[in-house]
A = this chain, B = another copy of it.
Amino acid sequence: MPDIKKKVTLKDIAEKTGLSVNTVSRVLNKKPYYTKEVEEKVTAACKELGYIVDMNASGLRSGSTRTVAILYDDLVNPFYSYTTDIISKRFEENGYNCIMFSNNDRSPYVDYELMRSVMARKPDGILSFLEPAGDMTDFIKNSGIPFVIFGRDGAPYGMVGVDADEVYGGKIAGEHLLARGYRKLAYIGSWHDVKVCLDRQKGLEEALAENGMTLSPEHVFYVREQDFGTIVDKIVKDDIDGVLCFNDVIAFIVMEALEERGIEAGADCGIVGFDNIQGMMRMPRLLTTVDVGNRDFAEAGAEVMLGLLSGSEEERPSFRETHKSFLVKGKTTR
């Protein structure tokens, strides 16, 4: 392959072939109207000189950067990285690159500061693991940039979302705990104001209600707002014997904290998480968890975004309608 010490531009290809930059551009972009001969000349010259298009320039002129912004808070949680891996590869296959934007764990929401840096990159689309809080909703809509909320309900914002039935997920988790004989349950969420977190809690409450039981408000916790140690101490003190956690990462931390306090997960206290991150990484099934069908979920997110990017109006059934979460039993429940 050729040296690229000197930057090779369309102009160089034009000079080499004796054509205009215009024609060269047209050939490279496969626009109609050029002869086979011209095409071959251009292809040969590009190969020889090692031409590589400048996407900044083409994006500036054409208005399309072939870029998708991905908004996340925490790539350490495999739910995000696994999903991002699949989604970004699908985008790449379709000629889009991904730019990563993190809110640095400030909150589960998109804020203006973040949107500013996103907008500065002029992405063709935005796929967000974060919800658009408050006036960000209008800001985003006004921008006209396709925006997909992934893993969360888009409806409250009147936006496109790809999500699962989280109440159902919470319910099967609760039913499982009760079926295995756990009786005094707690819920450990992330943030008190995030819908997906509340939906899972609601599902648990429904399972309890069906068995004539209730979830005591003092046994509902939020780890992003309270200290982990305090939460676990309370759980131990009140003889909680079953815990549903908002996600697997939280569940693992709770599990460890309980075991430090002499409580064995599974035998003494049932623990259920969400996401099945073990399955993503082919790890042993230690934790009982609710799986949404991760690969399909990610693919669905990519499809919806690609649909919006291609401007097709095709209505497809939502992931929520076509897929049901399922329980994956590990060793943290009997």
Contact = CB atoms under 8 A, between A and B. Distances in A.
Contact of A76 (B78, B104, B121, B142): B78
The number of times this chain is found in the oligomer is 2
A34 interface: no
B142 A3 contact: yes
A52 interface: yes
A84 interface: yes
7 contacts: A1-B112, A4-B139, A52-B119, A57-B60, A98-B100, A252-B284, A256-B284
Given A75-B84, A76-B78, 17 more contacts: A1-B135, A5-B144, A54-B120, A55-B122, A56-B56, A74-B85, A75-B75, A75-B85, A76-B82, A81-B84, A84-B100, A85-B102, A88-B102, A97-B100, A98-B99, A98-B100, A259-B284
Nearest to A95: B117
A281 interface: yes
Contacts of A78: 76, 78, 81, 281
A59 interface: yes
Nearest to A1: B112
A56 B121 contact: yes
A29 to B, nearest CB: 13
Contacts of A52: 116, 119-120
A45 B282 CA distance: 54
Contacts of A283: 252
B1 A139 contact: yes
Interface in A1-18: 1, 3-5
Interface residues of A, number: 59
A76 B284 contact: no
- 6 closest Cβ contacts across the A-B interface? A81-B81, A75-B85, A252-B283, A56-B60, A55-B120, A52-B119
Interface in A142-163: 142-144
Given A97-B121, A98-B99, A76 B4 contact: no
Given A122-B56, A142-B3, A283-B252, A102 B92 contact: yes
Nearest to A54: B122
Contacts of A277: 281
Given A81-B81, A99-B99, A139-B1, A252 B282 contact: yes
Nearest to A77: B281
Interface in A195-238: none
Interface in A48-80: 52-57, 59-60, 65, 67, 74-78, 80
Query: Which of A52, A53, A56 has the most chain B CB atoms closer than 10 A to its own CB?
Result: A56
